[in-house]
Amino acid sequence: MQTGRHPVNLALIGFMGTGKTSVGRHVAEQLGFEFLDTDEMIQSRTGRSIADIFAKDGEPAFRELERQVVQELSAREKTVIATGGGLPTNPENLAALKSFALVICLWASPGKIWERVRNQSHRPLLHDADPQQKIRDLLAAREPFYKQADVLINTDLRSVREAAQQIALQFKLATRKQR
Ligand code: S3P
């Protein structure tokens, strides 16, 4: 695909449970890139868990930390960046990602997402009386942001390895056409 830009990094956006971290690690390995995860960066920087930040400081404070991390990432090269599910809902973040990365969205259906996250407890936004409805509502609200990615990859029927191969190929195509 032709983006008209010169992406030197790869950013993975998408809903919780779409595999950004696991797929991102594989892609980084395939491309010989470094791997970073915005949630991990926030946790190591603050010394706190995401759940603790949400509980004590609130979601807006967490979103501000995300914004700061994205700004810092702009100096990176040859890095695969997995982002928190809500990060691209701030247009400033999405614009910044596009300025220094090819932006790939990992997509999954609400049913698949629920299958993957139902036995995990670290995501405060899913601590809800009806988490399946919450997934459907949040996914619908975020769809317009996710669809602004350069490439959309459905992970419902793809293994981590298949999704990673697809992404590495897209990155090579995007960078080759620009030379
Ligand atoms: C969030 C997704 C989480 C984490 C936080 C908020 C969201 O990341 O950033 O719990 O708003 O969707 P993952 O998408 O990696 O689970």
Tell me, yes or no, whether 4 lies in a domain.
no
In this predicted structure, what is the pLDDT of residue 146? 98
Higher-confidence position of 27 and 2 = 27
3-36 in b/e form (b: 16+ CB < 10 A) is eeeebebbbbbbbbbbbbeebbbbbbebbebebb
- DSSP-derived secondary structure for 125-150: GG-SSSHHHHHHHHHHHHHHHHTTSS
Which atom of ligand 1 is least distant from the CA of 123?
10
Q: Is the pLDDT of residue 179 over 90?
A: no
Ligand 1 centre to CA of 74 (Å) is: 21
Tell me, yes or no, whether 170 lies in a domain.
yes
Residue corresponding to tokens 């032709």 = 2
Tell me, yes or no, whether 162 lies in a domain.
yes
Burial class (CB in 10 A: 0-12, 13-18, 19+), 136: middle
CA dihedral 128, 131, 137, 139 (to 10 degrees): 120
* Distance from C-alpha of 80 to C-alpha of 50, rounded to nearest angstrom: 21
Residue corresponding to tokens 């946790």 = 43
Tell me, yes or no, whether 15 lies in a domain.
yes
* Distance from C-alpha of 63 to C-alpha of 43, rounded to nearest angstrom: 13
**Other C-beta atoms within 10 Å of 95: how many?**
12
Tell me, yes or no, whether 83 lies in a domain.
yes
pTM of the model: 0.95
pLDDT band at 26 (very low <50, low <70, confident <90, very high): very high
Ligand 1 within 6 A of 86 CB? yes
pLDDT band at 121 (very low <50, low <70, confident <90, very high): confident
Tell me, yes or no, whether 88 lies in a domain.
yes
Q: Whose CA is nearest to atom 8 of ligand 1?
A: 84
pLDDT band at 152 (very low <50, low <70, confident <90, very high): very high
Ligand 1 centre to CA of 107 (Å) is: 14
- CATH code: domain of residue 37: 3.40.50.300
Ligand 1 within 6 A of 12 CB? no
Ligand 1 within 6 A of 125 CB? yes
pLDDT band at 2 (very low <50, low <70, confident <90, very high): low
Ligand 1 within 6 A of 37 CB? no
Domain carrying residue 46: 9-174
Q: How many domains, the chain?
A: 1
By most ligand atoms within 8 Å of CB, the mutation choice from 12, 13, 15, 16 for ligand 1 is 16
pLDDT band at 176 (very low <50, low <70, confident <90, very high): confident
Q: Is the pLDDT of residue 136 over 70?
A: yes
Tell me, yes or no, whether 31 lies in a domain.
yes
Q: pLDDT tens, 74-115? A: 999 999 999 999 999 999 999 999 999 999 999 999 999 999
In this predicted structure, what is the pLDDT of residue 119? 87
Ligand 1 centre to CA of 86 (Å) is: 6
